[in-house]
Structure 1
Amino acid sequence: MLRKAGLSANLVKQSFSTTSQARYAVARKFLAKRNFNLAVASGFLLVASYCTFNRKVTIKSDSVPSGSPVGAQFFSTSSMHGNGLSQQQNKQGLYLLSDDQVTAKLRQFEESYFVNRGKGVTRYDICQLPSNNPIEDDRSEKIVQVPIVKQNNVKTTTDWLFWGVYDGHAGWGTSAKLRDNLIDYVISELGVAYKPLNDTTMRTIPSSETIDKAIKTGFLKLDDDIVTKNVEKLLSNPLKAQAAELLMPALLGSCGLVSFYDSNSRNLKVAVTGDSRAILGSLRDGAWTVQQLSIDQTGKNAYEAARILAEHPNEQNAIRNGRVLGSLEPTRAFGDARYKWGKELQTVISNTYFGRQPPPNLKTPPYVTAEPVITTTKINPGNRDFLVMGTDGLYELLSNEEIVGLVVKWMEKEQMFSTKKTLRSYFGKSQNKLPEVRDITKDRASKEAFRRGADTGYFLEDKNVATHLVRNALSNGGNREHCNMLASIPNPLSRRYRDDLTVTVVFFGEDGQPDDMGRLEVNPVATAESVKPKL
């Protein structure tokens, strides 16, 4: 369904958005409608998709214990047939799912879209697999058409394409806030950076540094609203009915990863706050390469640790055991007010409403910032470039090279390119191995994936490439039993063995002439039937 919305400025002519509202609920379903407030956009079209996580619980029960004497009678006040509080709390037996059940679980929240705009992006796929209940990950996407003035006073339009991945921790409240607001905050600041030309709708193109500053400002303004302004609002009007809504995004936390592609400049900017990651796969001279476009920001990153220790001299516990104050792993995050508020404010909030006590080593906050680190990469659609964004649950299980190799094999299967062009990549390799991928990343400060077993191959069973990556991440090198085992463990027990998984894959390429009237199109064979996008 297409909807028009009139807003205050004429920055945006058209906007397309596909944002998952997935909440993996135990006792209730809800569908949250988003209210976009873009102060810089005008006359835009929205494309949104919503889905809810639903779980069917199967309980196995035996009424008579095995080996009981004949004729014995049993009198018990415990729950019979799985009814009562145990069932309400979703206490389950541990059962290995069948291959078909695992596939259904992996594909339950997959989405795929064709971008019929002729401006360098052809398709993007998304998949989420919960481990927490509700899932703490989230994501959002948006495409915005902007009228611009190029050199020599040439007037044209450019597409701004945004993809966001948000890895919440301690709960889902902060990541949901990012889902609903972060891209919009960035667009608002870009609307200021791209200044109007002579009071018209046309926009002038700023420098790359100005664009970076706008993105950083959008990140920091949203975090300031979460951590500071919402709390000020609550303290000035202390209604406990508003406490949960205003405080939870501040007390919880989330990493934020946003990729911004400008079809005019063909620049891809990746902004990261936390330890989610973006990598770029490319075909260069017949060989595949991978480049990491973001660096994991944790206390184990030597640069991040040195930065925080320099900001807090004489506090040797500012980073301890690779964590902020010995507790929080990401050194940059949204929310996480325990590492940003002073002790006095934390005590007031805890005593008046709710919250944990301040960290024991807290002395000179803030220790954590939401300011992102931004990289800029020129995209060449002729190199068959593709972008993989994921929460750290993916990169804990697969290396950068493995991810690119898996996408390449999937592209082969889907006949997205001819294998004759990449024979060098496969020389000397058996067909059940991934192609050679050369890592051209300059900064290797990020953590490596861990592996529990030897590679036995890989799977090529999914039409959605993000689902394909999730399946292979669980398989531990192509072991189906291992994949089924990890997929079968119910929450909350599953959190001990795997994290929430959110993956977005974007394909760049030449797909005909630019078409300002082109619309997003759902790819039905790679989109779950339970997901009903509103286009």
Structure 2
Amino acid sequence: MKIISNCWKPSMGSREGGSVSRTDPVIWHKDLGRHDVGEFSIAVAQANDPLEDGSQIESGPLSWSEATSAPRGTFVGVYDGHGGPQTSEFVTEHLFCNLKRFASELGGMSEEVIGKAFSATEDGFMSLVRHRWLNKPQIASVGSCCLVGIISDGMLYVANAGDSRVVLGRIERGIKQISAVQMSVEHNANIASVREELHLLHPNDPQIVVLKDTVWRVKGIIQVSRSIGDAFLKCAEFQREPLLPRFRLSEPFEKPILSAEPSIMAHRLSPEDQFLIFASDGLWENLSNEEVVNMIHNSPRSVRCLSSFGILKY
């Protein structure tokens, strides 16, 4: 029995709505489609070769239960990979399945279900790293930011590990103007509160964050403080050969430097909530929340931009 309707998942060498062009930065897109609670569009632009990112939209039952009362809804994932495509590919294949499994076990969608799904996905990828370590040690330096949105029974859940972002477009009562409401917490060392959190977690490490070429980086290597993967900054067992020297730290660490724990929020959707934008930092580094919300509000069926993003309307 098919228990999930896959709204859109690209295949290599094909793209719905047009052929892939090497001169077109948007390597695939879906202009408009239906999901369980409204409409969606999605696009991916390639910023590196090979493409290290992943994204998915799933709509239908949000658990493995066959009962007619099983919750339905929509799942959105944006996975901004770095160091290689292995982590984002793994997350695309496993996170939603883990979410459905825990939703079935715990009786529906909740923040606990989402947290357990992230943890199980992280554990699964770490097992893969250990299995491939001797033959493909570079997999220990591969990771992915992970941004997830779930809409079910009128509730929006947003979970984020990394520096991708969700922004809500909301019509303000009375004045009929659109406003931009950020719905996610980001984990990037360039944010002062993130640096403070890292110093609190690692009080004996004065080099936990380093300013390098005007950019704050965790251990002088990576900007994000939370991710799936990046085993070399979570498990000291990988801080040795054959890992490349640039990923090996000068001093050992006793506890994970990065975390896979997402920031999770829940929001009851209202009639004023018009649409949601899910995007990696490639979009938000170039456009403000307000600019993107106004772009979509004014041109809801003809949006193009130079980053991977998804739009949900309901």
TM-score (norm 2): 0.86
Match of 1:444 in 2: none
Q: Contact conserved, 1:19 with 1:140, CA < 8 A, in 2?
A: yes
1:182 corresponds to which letter in structure 2?
Answer: L
CA drift at 1:504: 0.4
Q: Contact conserved, 2:16 with 2:30, CA < 8 A, in 1?
A: no
1:15 corresponds to which letter in structure 2?
Answer: I
Question: Which residues in structure 2 correspond to 1:30-429 (within 5 Å)?
Answer: 105=24, 108-115=27-34, 117=36, 121-145=37-61, 156=69, 158-194=71-107, 211-227=110-126, 229-234=127-132, 243-244=135-136, 249-262=139-152, 264=153, 266-285=154-173, 286-321=176-211, 322-342=216-236, 344-347=237-240, 350-351=241-242, 354-356=243-245, 357-380=247-270, 382-383=271-272, 385-411=274-300
Match of 1:18 in 2: 7
2:47 corresponds to which letter in structure 1?
Answer: S
1:326 corresponds to which letter in structure 2?
Answer: G
Q: Which has the higher strand share?
A: 2
The separation in 2 between residues aligned to 1:295 and 1:310, in whole angstroms, is: 18
Aligned alpha-carbon RMSD (Å): 2.9
Per-residue deviation, residues 404-432 of structure 1 (Å, max 9, x unmatched)? 11011113xx5xxxxxxxxxxxxxxxxxx
The separation in 1 between residues aligned to 2:265 and 2:100, in whole angstroms, is: 18
CA drift at 1:384: 5.0
1:111 corresponds to which letter in structure 2?
Answer: K
2:58 corresponds to which letter in structure 1?
Answer: K
Q: In structure 1, list runs of 5 or more residues that go unmatched.
A: 6-13, 24-28, 32-48, 57-100, 148-154, 195-204, 415-461, 475-500, 509-535
Q: Percent identity?
A: 24
SS of the aligned residue for 1:326 comes to coil
CA 1:400–1:157 in 2, change beyond 3 Å: closer, same or farther? Answer: same
Q: Contact conserved, 1:379 with 1:385, CA < 8 A, in 2?
A: no
CA drift at 1:364: 2.9
Q: Contact conserved, 2:62 with 2:103, CA < 8 A, in 1?
A: no
CA drift at 1:19: 4.7
Structure of larger gyration radius? 1
Q: Contact conserved, 2:129 with 2:231, CA < 8 A, in 1?
A: no
The separation in 1 between residues aligned to 2:206 and 2:93, in whole angstroms, is: 37
CA drift at 1:187: 1.8
SS of the aligned residue for 1:315 comes to coil
CA drift at 1:359: 2.2
The separation in 2 between residues aligned to 1:113 and 1:16, in whole angstroms, is: 16
CA drift at 1:299: 1.2
CA drift at 1:144: 2.6
2:46 corresponds to which letter in structure 1?
Answer: P
Which sits farther off after the overlay, 362-371 or 272-281?
362-371
The separation in 2 between residues aligned to 1:170 and 1:50, in whole angstroms, is: 28
Q: Contact conserved, 1:254 with 1:333, CA < 8 A, in 2?
A: yes
SS of the aligned residue for 1:385 comes to strand
Q: In structure 2, list runs of 5 or more residues that go unmatched.
A: none
CA drift at 1:334: 1.0
CA 1:345–1:166 in 2, change beyond 3 Å: closer, same or farther? Answer: closer
CA drift at 1:137: 1.7
The separation in 2 between residues aligned to 1:50 and 1:335, in whole angstroms, is: 31
Would you say how many aligned residue pairs link Structure 1 and Structure 2?
A: 304
